[in-house]
Structure 1
Amino acid sequence: MGDAESVFHYCRTKQAQDPNFYYEIFLDKDSRMVNFFWVDSRARLCYERFGDVVVFDTTYKTNKYCMPLALFVGVNNHLQSILFGFALLQDETEESFEWLFRTWLDAMNGKAPITILTDQDKAIGNMVKKVFSTTTHRLCLWHIMKKFPEKYGNLYKKKSPFKKDIKACLYQSITIEEFEREWNAIMTRYNLAGETWLQQIYEIRNFWIPVYNRTVFSAGMSTTQRVESMHSFFDSFVHSGTTLREFIAKYEQALMRRYMDENREHYASKHMHPVPKGRPPIAEHAAIVYTRNIFNKFENEVEESNRFTKKKLEKSGFDYTYLVSHNLDPNQKFRVSINTSSRDASCECHLFEFKGILCRHILAIFQKKDVQQIPHKYILPRWTKEAADDIPVPIMVEKDKSSLMHTMHFHRKANLLLSCLHECDGAYQLIMDAMDKAYEEVSKLKNSTKEVNEVEESGLDAPHIPIADPQVSKTKGRTKVRPEEVSSNGRLKGGFEVGMDLAKKQKRKCGICHELGHYSTTCKKGLDS
């Protein structure tokens, strides 16, 4: 059985076991695999809860056929990266991306994300616009920023005025008008108005500059860095000679380990994270509703709110406007509007719209107005402890670890029942009856396992068109490392180092006139003599 046939058999088996397992295989006219997409039922359920923001990436390209691995990645309520689907593509053309996006959207029941983050790629951009017409498309900020030292190594140095100014302009501009003003001032100050690359990234500024996207929910993400962690995840079991058959087998085992990490964090948030005492009431309320990782973010905002002073600017009935200013940094000034009756609040920083938790500036006003709990409208369900309660725990591949986790869960539940045993009349008999019924149902399940397996296997040998293995792809995939990007000891250089090295090369002087921009072989003085 060939690679493609093995993949097809795997998918049919999985779908027989789980009808919500979804896959599509695109074939060419010779019945050769071209593109392959799959997503399990748990990922589809997770998308229902956490599919508001998706990171899409195709830079991973480590397998026998050099086919780029396309990943749809999101973030769960514990700030962990989660997978919403995979695909192996023959090429990275608009046609392939359109097929993939429409297939993925169909798998997700037509629900498009609010925001999708990608690298800067024309084919991807065109198809995002075509298929996800209502979705906000954003480009990875980190990938654009890392090009500054490569292109302007002379200016973009450590602690250089240009680096300080450009970062302040990009990251600290509160309004679009402020950004435009500062950007134009920088272009004039450093004589960069005619620079082609800067003009190109300025023309697409609404796709990557923070101030243009702060009002659209992005779960706090401005980059595709979450996908980089997934690359490391795949590197642990994939190499350049990995066949599709091996990839599928190892991927499932590795995915189960990630699911175990999610389950461990879910359990810790619900049962091992006590509500902190001595905190402000609004922080104690946050500890009750939020997962522990989100609570840590919220608590930091609460603590930082104490560093701000509040000045009332306007009042009309229940509507107030305040200027919230940092005690030590006069540049940190934000207008906060609040209605004390409805508790509607908004801030110029737009942290809630962007990340989904209240900012320190609104919390400073809430503290002034003695708001002791987070208003319900400002608690996003996706960040709460209960967000994933109805998503089933998959059967773990690693039996020893899963058995330990199941035993721990069982003991804690049993202890809870034991504590209730004598608290009220009839509790003992109710618990015993429930345990007898549970034992009876488990016995039936155990006896029917063999029959279920036989049903699952039925139909798998139905006739089908033989599928040929894919051809070796020639797409760009993960960028190859250039020699100048590796240091003498084998360490990968950062963008700044690469830029500085290139700048040094460009500084070579003519051996005759000692001026920049040419060599002795092309020197006019040398030719004249």
Structure 2
Amino acid sequence: MKGKAPCSIITDGDLAMRNAITRVMPGVFHRLCAWHLLRNALSHVRDKHVLKWLKKLMLDDFEVVEFEEKWKEMVATFELEDNSWIAELYEKWMKWSTAHLRSHFFAGIRTTSHCEAFHAHVAKYVHSRTNLTDFVEQFQRCLTYFRYKVVVADYLSTCEKEVLQTNLRSLERSGDELFTKEMFKLFQYYLCKTIKLRVVDCKEMVTFSVYIVVKYCSGSVWRVSYCPSTVDFTCSCMRMQSIGLPCDHILAVLVSLNFMELPSSLVLNRWSKLATEQMKDKYPDSAMYWDSQLMARYATLVEVSRQVCAAAYCDEEEYDKMLHFLSNEATRLKLKQNNEHCVDDN
């Protein structure tokens, strides 16, 4: 990984691994695999009704306050006050509770099954008795297979048109044109759910608006913020931050505002059909495209720059200061780059 830490990690809860992650990558969000937690629960709590409660608390999109209330209700209902494993599990809520983790990006992954499936496939090519020469050859065959699968997935996403399922044709077609095949299916699922939602109120702020979204025959309420100047949306469910797809609540606001196409702010580049091509167009020599270290540096600079812009644009003094600083830095770096090109040409 060339010194670039991931934003999130999911493990089976191994103590040595946990200590290593804390020591080497202290800023990384560490999540425990839901499947391993439920398997451990089976040996410590044999009541199937408790397991249902635990699964719901692990995976459902509760508000933090609602999570706390339901946890207390579960403990009281099944008399788990003296269960040491339950008490220990609660102390680690920040590592498994979706209610507390939903603001962190995990790409929708909650278990280590993706990694284990990869290991199972690699095991078809290499094993403990494979010598080094054969390992290199077989592992290359394995990589070739995975690259072939990526090419097939790109082809299907680009060439196949999905069947539209809602009456929101323009918005749904926009998602089909932008998202990869697999991500469009999830987007389509959220879009279908908007039929049960309605926007009941709007509070106008100085630079943004807050829309109150409720679900039909339910007491659930979500707050969606919309900034017209940047066309940015955020929702209290934070699904956009954790999965990278617009939630049904944001989509309900888009429908209310009569959006015909998805704003670019709601299309994460990694889920876009154009992700590969955009990288090739930006870097025609392919140097950065294949160098994960350069890609990681670029992504880090973009993220930090985004945070600076978000913090400075509302304050006129900070805006002028940052604009002046960034303009000077852009000029300096361009001159440096041009000078380096001149030296190379000579």
Question: TM-score range with shorter-chain normalisation?
Answer: 0.7 to 0.9
1:324 aligns with 2:217: no
| Residues in 2 aligned to 1:177 and 1:123: alpha-carbon distance in whole angstroms | 32
1:289 aligns with 2:178: yes
Shift of 1:305: 0.9
Distance of aligned partners of 1:380 and 1:173 in 2 relative to their CA distance in 1, 3 Å threshold: closer
| Residues in 2 aligned to 1:113 and 1:350: alpha-carbon distance in whole angstroms | 20
1:170 aligns with 2:58: yes
Alignment deviations for residues 69-100 of structure 1 (CA, whole Å, 9 cap, x no partner): xxxxxxxxxxxxxxxxxxxxxxxxxxxxxxxx
Tell me, yes or no, if the aligned pair for 1:305 and 1:361 is still in contact at 8 Å.
Answer: yes
Q: Which residue of 2 aligns with 1:126?
A: 19
Q: Which has the higher contact order (CA 8 A, sep 6+)?
A: 1
Q: Which residue of 1 aligns with 2:325?
A: none
Alignment deviations for residues 243-266 of structure 1 (CA, whole Å, 9 cap, x no partner): 444333222212211111111111
Alignment deviations for residues 149-199 of structure 1 (CA, whole Å, 9 cap, x no partner): 22222x12xxx3x34433333333522222122212221221112212112
Shift of 1:235: 3.3
1:218 aligns with 2:106: yes
Shift of 1:269: 1.7
| Residues in 2 aligned to 1:178 and 1:276: alpha-carbon distance in whole angstroms | 36
Which of the residues 35, 39, 44 maps onto 1:146?
39
| Residues in 2 aligned to 1:318 and 1:280: alpha-carbon distance in whole angstroms | 30
SS of residue in 2 equivalent to 1:321? strand
Alignment of 1:96-135 (within 5 A): 105-106=1-2, 110-135=3-28
| Residues in 2 aligned to 1:286 and 1:175: alpha-carbon distance in whole angstroms | 28
Tell me, yes or no, if the aligned pair for 2:38 and 2:55 is still in contact at 8 Å.
Answer: no
Aligned length: 279
Distance of aligned partners of 1:122 and 1:165 in 2 relative to their CA distance in 1, 3 Å threshold: closer
Alignment deviations for residues 247-291 of structure 1 (CA, whole Å, 9 cap, x no partner): 332222122111111111112222333795975322222222221
Tell me, yes or no, if the aligned pair for 1:352 and 1:358 is still in contact at 8 Å.
Answer: yes
| Residues in 1 aligned to 2:162 and 2:12: alpha-carbon distance in whole angstroms | 40
Unpaired segments ≥5 residues, structure 1? 1-104, 393-529
Distance of aligned partners of 1:339 and 1:212 in 2 relative to their CA distance in 1, 3 Å threshold: same
Distance of aligned partners of 1:276 and 1:182 in 2 relative to their CA distance in 1, 3 Å threshold: closer
Q: Percent identity?
A: 25
Distance of aligned partners of 1:142 and 1:331 in 2 relative to their CA distance in 1, 3 Å threshold: farther
Richer in helix (by share) = 2
Alignment-mate amino acid for residue 192 of structure 1? L
Q: Which residue of 2 aligns with 1:385?
A: 273
| Residues in 2 aligned to 1:256 and 1:182: alpha-carbon distance in whole angstroms | 48
Alignment of 1:16-31 (within 5 A): none
1:300 aligns with 2:189: yes
Tell me, yes or no, if the aligned pair for 1:335 and 1:347 is still in contact at 8 Å.
Answer: yes
Distance of aligned partners of 1:140 and 1:163 in 2 relative to their CA distance in 1, 3 Å threshold: closer
Compare CA radii of gyration and give the structure with the larger one: 1
**TM-score computed with the length of structure 2 as normaliser:** 0.73
Alignment deviations for residues 284-309 of structure 1 (CA, whole Å, 9 cap, x no partner): 22222221211121121111111212
| Residues in 2 aligned to 1:320 and 1:174: alpha-carbon distance in whole angstroms | 24
**TM-score computed with the length of structure 1 as normaliser:** 0.49
Alignment-mate amino acid for residue 116 of structure 1? I
Q: Which residue of 2 aligns with 1:41?
A: none
Distance of aligned partners of 1:244 and 1:184 in 2 relative to their CA distance in 1, 3 Å threshold: farther
SS of residue in 2 equivalent to 1:146? helix
1:232 aligns with 2:232: no
Alignment of 1:44-83 (within 5 A): none
SS of residue in 1 equivalent to 2:224? strand
Alignment-mate amino acid for residue 265 of structure 2? K
SS of residue in 2 equivalent to 1:116? strand
Unpaired segments ≥5 residues, structure 2? 281-285, 287-346
Tell me, yes or no, if the aligned pair for 2:31 and 2:96 is still in contact at 8 Å.
Answer: yes
